[in-house]
Amino acid sequence: VDLWKKVCQGRIPRGKRWFFSTFCGISSAEFDEIQGEQLGENFPIGNLLDGTSKAYDVVALLLALHDPGDTGQGLFPFDQAHLRLNGADHYFFVQPQ
């Protein structure tokens, strides 16, 4: 629910359509039908959460919300995973096999 509020406040680099698709299992057409872009942070989003997220979604979300300048976060080795490509920062957390 806090993530929904951050999406509504523009603090997450994804939009409401992404949130509905990812966490509520609502298609793009359904999102348009309910006028999802008009819903605000006080909308009772908890009623629509359907548990469709996978275990790896949590990790992906943690990575997406990471602030590379935050040296206190030791969950992932960002310094080792960093790659700058075409002016954008990317982080690859894979192990050679």
% the chain with pLDDT above 90: 30
pLDDT attached to residue 55 = 63
Q: Could you report the per-residue pLDDT of 20-56, keeping only the tens digit for each? A: 998 888 999 999 999 999 999 999 998 888 765 566 6
Q: What is the value of pTM for the model shown?
A: 0.54
To which H or E segment does residue 81 belong? helix 78-81
3: CB partners within 8 A, 6+ apart: 12, 19, 23, 61
